[in-house]
Amino acid sequence: MPDPVSPEPYLRLGTRRSPLAMAQAYEARARLCAAHGWDEDRVELVPVLASGDKIRDRPLAEIGGKALWTKELDEWLAEGRIDGAVHSMKDVETLRPDELSIAAILPRADVADVLVGAASIREIPPGSRIGTSAPRRAAQLLNARPDCEVVNFRGNVATRISKLAAGEADVTLLAAAGLLRLGESGVGTRLDPGDWLPAPQQGAIGIECRTDDERARGLIGAIDDRPSHCAVLAERRLLASLGGDCRSPVAMLSTLEDETLTLRCALYSPDGSQRIERAGAGAADAIDWVMKLGEDLLGELTEGMKPVFGLTKA
């Protein structure tokens, strides 16, 4: 009798190998199979080692930024070894090759940051060490609590929680979405995004395809969540217009309600001492107004922000 063979997959999805990336890939697969009535084995998950996962000890901003998360998956897509790549959109640069397109944004999870190690920002003990390697989180924390000190804290979610437990820092900040996806939603205190703006694209999972692969784009486009997609595109547009890089402390959040997108954005100097905030609103499908918001923010940059914003023209 011949061995039973598993059926040819309809889609091969590439993903990074971290526990969070794998959890996101499982979610993407579950949504695709539900939308198309497929058995699970019709979507093959292909774990790919990203350069960002090979270099663990230095701050990301020092070693080359966000391309470290996408380089290998981009190559696997270009070579046709995978049909789609699942990403935390937060880690995907705004400037992407024309050969790749975002085929779907999944329904956005909780966008909030979670504070671990204290019950609120106000209640962090004076002089505490804040473990984070995110320039946004460092600047936001120092803006609210200039008495605190930032210590570099890289690694995946589990690593950061264990570094905290080992006393390498007194408090840390993590994304609620990541904790939720790892089954750790009990950890820490959720910070209301109205008071504490998240990173651009936080909580959003995206799937990129080759632009010329109409079959994959169609199949994957079936699970696109339009409100989440609109918000993510607006945030990406604003981020690009600010001419920053991975060292730029920027927080923002866009939401769609009744066909109107609102977008709030705060920029900081890296030391957190300076902060500006602006908000805008407009159509979801014609987001030129976002560029105006970006120009307004650039026109208001303080001296401390100039080294990290307005560096490139969008």
Ligand X SMILES: NCc1[nH]cc(CCC(=O)O)c1CC(=O)O
Q: Measured from the CB of residue 88, what is the shortest distance to ligand X in angstroms?
A: 4
Residues 117 to 176 in contact with ligand X, rule: CB under 6 A: 157, 174-175
CA–CA gap between residue 292 and residue 289 (Å, rounded): 5
Q: How many residues bind ligand X (CB under 6 A)?
A: 11
Nearer to ligand X, 61 or 144 (CB): 61
Residues 193 to 222 in contact with ligand X, rule: CB under 6 A: 202-204
Nearer to ligand X, 45 or 232 (CB): 232
Binding to ligand X by residue 178, rule CB under 6 A? yes
Nearer to ligand X, 116 or 301 (CB): 116
Q: Measured from the CB of residue 24, what is the shortest distance to ligand X in angstroms?
A: 8
CA–CA gap between residue 201 and residue 238 (Å, rounded): 11
Q: Measured from the CB of residue 21, what is the shortest distance to ligand X in angstroms?
A: 9
Of 148, 171, 177, 252, the one binding ligand X by CB under 6 A? 177
* CB-based closest residue to ligand X: 178
Q: Measured from the CB of residue 23, what is the shortest distance to ligand X in angstroms?
A: 10
Burial class (CB in 10 A: 0-12, 13-18, 19+), 143: middle
91 is catalytic: yes
Other C-beta atoms within 10 Å of 243: how many? 16
Catalytic residue among 83, 91, 113, 213: 91
Nearer to ligand X, 14 or 178 (CB): 178
Residues 85 to 114 in contact with ligand X, rule: CB under 6 A: 88, 90-91
Q: Measured from the CB of residue 313, what is the shortest distance to ligand X in angstroms?
A: 26
Nearer to ligand X, 37 or 186 (CB): 186
User: Interface with ligand X by CB under 6 A: which residues?
Assistant: 88, 90-91, 157, 174-175, 177-178, 202-204
The residues annotated with a catalytic role in the active site are 91
